[in-house]
Amino acid sequence: MKILGIETSCDECAAAMVEDGRTPLSHVVSSQVEVHAPFGGVVPEIASRRHLETILPVIDEALTVAKVTAQDVDAVAVTNRPGLIGALLVGLSAAKGLALAAKKPLIPVDHIAAHVYASVMDRSNPSFPLTGLVVSGGHTSLYHVRSILDMERIGATLDDAAGEAFDKVAAILGLGYPGGPAIEGAAGSRKQGSVNFPRSLPGGDQWNFSFSGLKTAVLYYCRGVPKKGRERTREQEEAARRFDPSDPDRVADVAASFQAAVVDVLVERTFHAAKAMRSGGVALGGGVAANTLLRDRMTEEADRHGIPLYLASRELATDNAVMVAGLAYHLYRAGRIGGLDTDAYPR
């Protein structure tokens, strides 16, 4: 069964053909990074407008590379939640148009579930239940994954997503956008830096996260606590002495210190949850899952706990349509098909 997947929930415009939920026949991603970079983050309205320009060429390319026509497609899958509402609507409208014209079923797909699916897509028998961590620019959430089609959220960030913290800290350090690869590049081979930034593990019943305190700690470390008025405070003078933004070694040290703090928290929370939930394994997906330190630390910890780690490949960790078309195959088989009245939801 050949499914065309479409993904426009944020700033990647993507389409892919996937056979039987597993075999990608094409994988097209048109990134908007360069249009959002001057703003240091994704501007929703610009994202929707750019999707409008790129969606049809991207779908055409996905069909051409896979050597199929719209008539050969068995179903059209599309991300309809969560994401930027205008961006989602562009993909959803294109998918509806195609499904209607080619008389094919429409399969709405949850973006986060697709990120989890990306981590087990190439495995035949994942050891369910899994603890799934989806860590991206918009989300940092833990799931109890009973099966590919049954996952329950057991924790989430209370404020910034981890990827968002990477993006904001990169802006503080003058490293540009997107921040994840920039911080990772600046930190280089340093697994740890000299600054012991806070590791926040919020209490309560859930396995929640919080990254805004860490982000603020980096800001104050680099610039001191801001005060009204023109005079520099003593703290700001001290910050200027300890951190020189034009010194690549200091930038690398702070980048590595920040990265280590994020990774510590993600690893600790995930494996703590996995143990408490008696999970058979851990699954990792989302854009931040492209980070080498996170991948290495998760791998070490899984070995230590003697449970398998299901890691999305770097290519399928960041937003793509292969994971959408892949998961849609299982949704289709379970009868989870949408009508032309399918809506888009930001959450």
Q: Three-state SS for 143?
A: strand
Torsion-angle region of residue 76: left (phi > 0), alpha (psi -120 to 50) or beta?
beta
Does 82 interact with ligand KG4 (rule: CB under 6 A)?
no
The helix-helix angle for 292-305 and 248-276 (nearest 10°) equals: 30
Q: Three-state SS for 79?
A: strand
21's enclosing H/E stretch is none
> Which of residues 75 and 169 has its CB atom nearest to ligand KG4 in the complex?
169
Does 136 interact with Zn ion (rule: CB under 5 A)?
yes
> Which of residues 136 and 208 has its CB atom nearest to Zn ion in the complex?
136
> Which of residues 5 and 137 has its CB atom nearest to ligand KG4 in the complex?
137
The residue from 166, 211, 329, 332 that contacts ligand KG4 (CB under 6 A) is 166
Candidates 167, 147, 152, 272; CA nearest to 211 is: 167
Q: Pull the structure tokens for residue 208.
A: 């929640």
Single out the segment in contact with ligand KG4 by CB under 6 A; choices: 56-64, 147-155, 162-170, 339-347.
162-170
Does 167 interact with ligand KG4 (rule: CB under 6 A)?
yes
Please name the amino acid found at residue 276: A
Greatest alpha-carbon span in the chain: 69
Does 160 interact with ligand KG4 (rule: CB under 6 A)?
no
Cα 230 from Cα 163, distance rounded (Å): 33
β-bridge mates for residue 281, sequence order: 130
Does 137 interact with ligand KG4 (rule: CB under 6 A)?
yes
The residue to which tokens 């408490």 are assigned: 276
The Cβ of residue 156 has, within 10 Å, a number of other Cβ atoms equal to 17
> Which of residues 75 and 183 has its CB atom nearest to ligand KG4 in the complex?
183
Nearest approach, Cβ of residue 111 and Zn ion (Å): 6
Q: Three-state SS for 67?
A: coil
> Which of residues 41 and 280 has its CB atom nearest to ligand KG4 in the complex?
41
Nearest approach, Cβ of residue 93 and ligand KG4 (Å): 20
Pairing of strands 130-135, 140-147: antiparallel
Report what 129 binds from Zn ion, ligand KG4, none; CB cut-off 5-8 Å by kind. none
Nearest approach, Cβ of residue 135 and ligand KG4 (Å): 8
Taking residues 97 to 136 in sequence order and writing x for each that binds ligand KG4 by CB under 6 A, - otherwise, the string is ---------------------------------------x
The residue from 91, 224, 281, 287 that contacts ligand KG4 (CB under 6 A) is 287
Residues at the contact surface with ligand KG4, assessed by CB under 6 A: 10, 136-138, 163-164, 166-167, 178-181, 184, 286-288, 290-291, 318-319
